[in-house]
Amino acid sequence: MENFIFNENDISQHIVRYGANIRPPIQPKQEREKLQDYCNWLIERFPEAYETLLSGPDKTIVQKTFFASGNKRVEMPTFAMTRRGPLYTFPIRLLIEDVEDFDIQGRNKIFRSALEKFRETFASKIVRVAVMREMVFDCGNINPVDIIATAISKEAWREEIRNIRIHLENPGNGCNVSIDIAPAYAQQVVRGTTGAKRKNIGFGISVRLEINNEKPTADLDRDAVAGIVAFSEDYVPDRLLSFLNNERS
Give 137's pLDDT tier (boundaries 50, 70, 90): very high
Q: What percent of the chain has pLDDT over 90?
A: 66
Q: Examine the fold and report which residue of 105, 123, 141 is the final residue of a domain before the chain moves on.
A: 123
Give 188's pLDDT tier (boundaries 50, 70, 90): low
Residue 57: other Cβ atoms inside 10 A: 7
**Domain identity same for 142 and 249:** yes
Q: Which domain holds residue 36?
A: 25-123
Using the predicted structure, report yes or no on whether residue 234 has a pLDDT greater than 70: yes
**Domain identity same for 137 and 226:** yes
How many degrees, rounded to 5, is the angle at CA 136 between CA 131 and CA 139? 155
pLDDT digits (tens, 9 = 90+) for 73-102: 999 999 999 999 999 999 999 988 788 999
Residue 200 and residue 109 in contact, taking contact as beta carbons nearer than 8 Å: no
**Domain identity same for 159 and 238:** yes
pLDDT digits (tens, 9 = 90+) for 25-64: 998 888 999 999 999 999 999 999 999 999 887 889 999 9
**SS3 at position 153:** coil
Mean model confidence pLDDT for the chain: 89
Q: In this predicted structure, what is the pLDDT of residue 189?
A: 46
pTM, whole model, 2 decimals? 0.90
CA–CA distance, 158 with 164 (Å, rounded to integer): 10
135: exposed, middle or buried (Cβ count in 10 Å: 0-12, 13-18, 19+)? buried
Q: Which residues, in sequence order, are CB contacts of 89 under 8 Å at separation 6+?
A: 15, 16, 17, 76, 77, 78, 79, 80
Residue 231 and residue 175 in contact, taking contact as beta carbons nearer than 8 Å: yes
**Domain identity same for 99 and 178:** no
Q: Examine the fold and report which residue of 72, 106, 123 is the final residue of a domain before the chain moves on.
A: 123
**Domain identity same for 109 and 33:** yes
Higher local confidence (pLDDT), 197 or 14: 14
**Domain identity same for 135 and 236:** yes
**Domain identity same for 72 and 159:** no
**Domain identity same for 72 and 163:** no
